Amino acid sequence: MLLSHKTEAAWAQDAARRFEHKLRAVRVRSAEKIPSRAVDGVHNNKADGGAYTPDDGLCWWTNGFWAGMLWQAYRMTGDEAYKEVARYTERRLDDCFRSYCGLHHDVGFMWLPSAVADYRLTADGDARRRGLHAASLLAGRFNPAGFIRAWNDIPGSEADTRGWAIIDCMFNIPLLYWASEETGDPRFRKIAMTHADTVAANFVRADGSVRHIVEFDPETGAFVRDYGGQGYAQGSSWTRGQAWGLYGFVMSYKHTGAVRYLAMAEKIAAYFIAHIPADGAIPVDFCQPEEPRWYDDIAAAVAACGLLELADLVPEKQEVYLSPALKMLHRLDDTADWDEGRDGFLCNCSADYHGREHNVNFTYGDYYFLEALLKLTGQGIFLW
């Protein structure tokens, strides 16, 4: 999307330039890391944990986003150093394939912005193989009752997760769409669309808000119950879940042309837009109490990306979607850490409402912030 308003276009170009300028410094410090966050201005390293520690190691679900940032910057600048550092992630994530047990529904998040991005930009054969391997693993989690199972069994827990599905997976299924487009095999696409239809029927409420976790009967596919998950409570509106649903249905529409997915994205978008606070700072949950008022910059960045896509796809409503996206992105710009001596950008991220991590940085939030800026300048690459 190229902005027609000169002031906004100049801002977007400047923000993207500042992001890339800082990223050049960060990539040197983090060249042999797979960071999930910056702690006190220093990237951690998930590559240190090994492939057999899914909570802390190589199989962590956000491990593709650092490479995604680097590939976006490579597309923006043509700087070969970005490509070389990005491929470090791909090579290290091969250990996850070998260990297998730490992987679950989030392989799309791991290999779309890393290996598949590489293949799209360079036609590298190893990158293609990695992407198709990951797609086959995701397809293998499909329950013919109509959904892709979320997590594996939870160690030490008596919870039966065989029938669990989550809204986040709407953003993993683009890996299956890509695999069908790449191979011509319709199985991947059919699995993705079946899951998307199940989500539309069971996750999206009448008002456009979405559930985080839904439990189905693993034998019949019947709805059993929902869970509050990472939001404030059961029945509330976890904002990052709203964003996954909004942008995820946009992606299903772009890959399939099925207008029902565009309609669902617009329904979720209407709810999200109606609940954006006046200052553009997105809470962890739209239904959370006034205090403590935790924020989630990640939800803002992901939702902004989805709204920018809708502004292109539905030109008669361009301003309806563009204005709130810009409002949130300006807020992120105003509150981001632009110090080139520190790693990480977004400062007000939250893992979940009731967790201990608030007002922190997460790498995947940084990724979506950059993606949104590059959508505005027309310099990005389609990774999903």
Which among 168, 285, 296, 297 is annotated as catalytic? 168
Task: Taking the CA atoms of 312, 314, 318 and 322 in sequence, report the sign of the dihedral they define.
Answer: negative
Instruction: Describe the crossing of helices 297-313 and 239-256 by its angle, rounded to 10 degrees.
Output: 30
Instruction: Give the other-Cβ count within 10 Å of 191's Cβ.
Output: 24
Residues 321, 307, 280, CA angle at the centre, nearest 5°? 75
Q: 140, 191 in Cβ contact below 8 A? A: no
Cα–Cα distance, 119 to 125 (Å, whole number)? 7
Both tokens assigned to 186: 């319709």
H helix intervals, the chain = 6-29, 65-77, 80-99, 107-111, 117-122, 125-139, 174-183, 186-202, 239-256, 259-274, 297-313, 318-335, 363-377
Q: 62, 51 in Cβ contact below 8 A? A: no
DSSP annotation string for 133-170: HHHHHHHTTEETTTEE--S---TT-----TTEEEGGGG
Local structure of residue 281 (DSSP, 8 states): P
Q: Which residues pair with 295 in a beta bridge?
A: 283
Active site residue 126: no
Sequence-distant contacts of 48-57: CB under 8 A, at least 24 apart: 50/95, 51/95, 51/96, 51/98, 51/99, 51/102, 52/99, 52/101, 52/102, 53/102, 54/101, 54/102, 54/103, 57/102
User: Amino acid identity of 383?
Assistant: L
Local structure of residue 226 (DSSP, 8 states): E
Cα–Cα distance, 136 to 141 (Å, whole number)? 9
H helix intervals, 203-258 = 239-256
Which among 106, 285, 296, 352 is annotated as catalytic? 106
Q: 170, 246 in Cβ contact below 8 A? A: no
Active site residue 94: no
Please list the active-site residues. 106, 168
